[in-house]
Structure 1
Amino acid sequence: MGLDTPNQKPHDRLAALLSEDMASVNALIRERMASKHAPRIPEVTAHLVEAGGKRLRPLLTLASARMCGYDGPFHVHLAATVEFIHTATLLHDDVVDESSQRRGRPTANLLWDNKSSVLVGDYLFARAFQLMVEPGNLRVLDILSNAAATIAEGEVLQLTAAQDLRTDEDIYLQVVRGKTAALFSAATEVGGVIAGVEEAHVQALFTYGDALGIAFQIADDLLDYQGDSAATGKNVGDDFRERKLTLPVIKAVAAADDEERAFWVRVIEKGDQQEGDLEHALALLDRHGALEVTRDDALGWSEKAKKSLAVLPESELRDLLIELADFVVARLY
């Protein structure tokens, strides 16, 4: 993708640079996901935590703290907190979405049951709150607890907005901030807060995480309509078949005439999808330039993420975070 030098993506190089800190995070996660009385908790948690994800969110916390000169122990606690919140939401999401696969493996709700997934997710949220209290920083607690609430609020909003053609770009952004960007921005912001840097730098880290998360999600939604299935791990049109009202469709609906709008009502709101509907949807997206404009939006958010870091001192970590903002949209070229 142009950023793999040498043969490594920015988040891989970030992980290598922060490997000692990340080893401490992993050890803390293993320690805190244990349970004396309910062995199913570590069984379910380990299935997801050990599944080989990128651990991007905790890496963002570690990178932000180190970039700001932090040399204490609590960035490890905050990174583990972020990963626990993320893992808890994945467990709950798979139940809500009735998913059977994640990262190429059976989901916990499939291997065990919905009750186990929901309750273990609750346990991880509780563990996350225990961890976020330990640094003794009230602002950190405020940021992470607000992020947890925003995530839940965004998921509930998505339930009503995903198949409602009245959903506009503002509501879409609210959903994206809930499902993706809120935890990205919290992850980066708390790194600056725990390091005690000036407010302008804390705000820059928040803006970076927010914009990075939005760029990431818009790119993901766009690739559902024009991506390479082998590269993305998703079939083209999965969101369409699941009647998800993502940004390309929102843009096409906003530009639709009466006949086109009737089509979108049938396939998205009513779920009456027939042979050839995906191809017709793609033709409508192309007719109104919806895919191109959505790509421009993703690139714009990526640029905002990169520019926000300009106020921070130059460093290898800052350069890698800038490359990461490029990387999340590089797959759109």
Structure 2
Amino acid sequence: MSTLAIATAKEVFDLLHDDLRAIEREFGAYAVSSVAAITEISSYLREGGGKRLRPSLLLLSARAQNYSGHGMIRLGAVVEMVHTATLVHDDIIDAADTRRGRPSANTTWGNGKCVLAGDWLYMQAFRVALEERNFRILDLLIGLTQQMVEGELLQMEKLGFCIAESDYNTLIYRKTACLFEVSMRLGAVLAGIPKSHTNGHSSSATPSETEDHMGEYGRALGMAFQIVDDVLDLTASEEVLGKPVASDLREGKATLAVIHALEHGSEEDRQAIRTVLEDRDFHRVTHAQILGILKNHGSIEYAMNIALEYAETARNALSFLPDSDYKRALLWVPDFVVARDR
């Protein structure tokens, strides 16, 4: 290992380049069915790209613990299949027209085919994971899938309503952070810590403690990621987002900055926000008016500060790990998450 200080996305990508390419090939091979529609939809979704953040976390988790076996490639493809399945289902539920600047799959193939393609991807992910012959891996993936489905159902029940910050935290954990957490935990399971490291040091943590530390990193990082995502939904441009601005409000979702403004705003402010949540459009109250309310009460800053606190929690969770380029990359990722513009 070099002593390179991880400071840019390119350096992290270079560190994981070969592994991510292997995961991409594996994902492509697994996402083939005898039914043409499934293969076409899976291929379209895979080509949509994205940051591949979740498999990257699994790779960093495993490699930071001196694991280099094929299991991390296989499970990297598994978590990306699970993530892709959630995206196609989310687009159907939200009636989304675009995803990452392209038409969403359901606009091309229809809701029925896309629901079934998403289901197929879930089952294919479990089928591939089964090749590891490890009950802990299956337990993590089953629990993850249940959490995400429950999170989606809970969110549907809350649409159009003003919710408490505690409810918001529960929702974003189930819908986003739990997949980050499980990605990190899977890396720890594969590594089977404690082991000796190439630098001659070993972790004093037990396998269970190590998995928990890595899981805590993933959970906190995922919470930060979703909070920032929700802030960008309110503040970024459509060109940057690749989808309509303020989609959450248009869908009746109250996110952290909005919840803060509801708690600290005047009755007139609260009524304006409630109107948008209930109408699910900006006909009676404009997007600019909502942004003005959020800025007046420091609600955007409040949400970003919470994200920064989660980023710091993530970094602190790694204190037990011996130094390596992979640990330094993990320490860098929270900064990338909170500073990104899309």
TM-score between both structures, scaled by the size of structure 2: 0.88
- Structure 1 residues 151 and 190, CA gap change in structure 2 (3 angstroms): same
Q: Aligned residue for 1:183?
A: 179
Which consecutive unaligned segments of at least 5 residues does structure 2 have?
A: 194-205
Q: Aligned residue for 1:263?
A: 272
- Give % identity: 38
Deviation string 1:165-213 (CA, Å, 9 cap, x unpaired) is: 1x11111011111221111110011101111113332111101111111
Q: Aligned residue for 1:214?
A: 223
Q: Aligned residue for 1:297?
A: 306
The residue type paired with residue 73 of structure 2 is V
Match of 1:242 among 229, 236, 251: 251
* Cα offset, 1:296, TM superposition: 0.7
Query: Could you tell me whether the CA contact under 8 Å between 2:276 and 2:285 is conserved in 1?
Result: no
Match of 1:107 among 104, 108, 124: 104
The residue type paired with residue 51 of structure 1 is G
Matched residues in 2 for 1:175 and 1:17: separation? 33
* Cα offset, 1:91, TM superposition: 1.1
Query: Could you tell me whether the CA contact under 8 Å between 1:240 and 1:278 is conserved in 2?
Result: no
**Aligned to 1:309, what secondary structure does the other structure show?**
coil
The residue type paired with residue 212 of structure 1 is L
1:46 aligns with 2:55: no
1:200 aligns with 2:209: yes
Matched residues in 2 for 1:24 and 1:294: separation? 37
Q: Aligned residue for 1:329?
A: 338
Match of 1:170 among 141, 166, 170: 166
- Structure 1 residues 331 and 81, CA gap change in structure 2 (3 angstroms): closer
* Cα offset, 1:317, TM superposition: 0.9
Query: Could you tell me whether the CA contact under 8 Å between 2:55 and 2:77 is conserved in 1?
Result: yes
Deviation string 1:32-79 (CA, Å, 9 cap, x unpaired) is: 11122x111111100011222221111111111111111322112211
Q: Aligned residue for 1:25?
A: 23
Q: Aligned residue for 2:203?
A: none
- Structure 1 residues 272 and 137, CA gap change in structure 2 (3 angstroms): closer
Matched residues in 2 for 1:150 and 1:85: separation? 13
Q: Provide the aligned C-alpha RMSD in A.
A: 2.1
* Cα offset, 1:264, TM superposition: 2.5
Q: Aligned residue for 2:32?
A: 34
- Structure 1 residues 312 and 273, CA gap change in structure 2 (3 angstroms): same
1:139 aligns with 2:148: no
**Aligned to 2:319, what secondary structure does the other structure show?**
helix
Matched residues in 2 for 1:304 and 1:261: separation? 32
Deviation string 1:124-152 (CA, Å, 9 cap, x unpaired) is: 00001112221111111111111111111
Aligned residues: 324
**Aligned to 1:310, what secondary structure does the other structure show?**
coil
The residue type paired with residue 212 of structure 2 is Q
Superposition misfits of 4+ residues, deviation over 4 angstroms: none
The residue type paired with residue 320 of structure 2 is V
Query: Could you tell me whether the CA contact under 8 Å between 1:68 and 1:192 is conserved in 2?
Result: yes
Query: Could you tell me whether the CA contact under 8 Å between 2:234 and 2:245 is conserved in 1?
Result: yes
Matched residues in 2 for 1:271 and 1:50: separation? 31
Query: Could you tell me whether the CA contact under 8 Å between 1:248 and 1:285 is conserved in 2?
Result: yes
- Structure 1 residues 93 and 271, CA gap change in structure 2 (3 angstroms): closer
Q: Aligned residue for 1:124?
A: 121
Matched residues in 2 for 1:272 and 1:329: separation? 28
**Aligned to 1:133, what secondary structure does the other structure show?**
helix
The residue type paired with residue 130 of structure 2 is V
Q: Aligned residue for 2:202?
A: none
**Aligned to 2:132, what secondary structure does the other structure show?**
coil
**Aligned to 1:134, what secondary structure does the other structure show?**
helix
TM-score between both structures, scaled by the size of structure 1: 0.90
* Cα offset, 1:292, TM superposition: 1.5
**Aligned to 1:294, what secondary structure does the other structure show?**
helix
The residue type paired with residue 81 of structure 1 is V
* Cα offset, 1:290, TM superposition: 1.2
Q: Aligned residue for 1:161?
A: 158
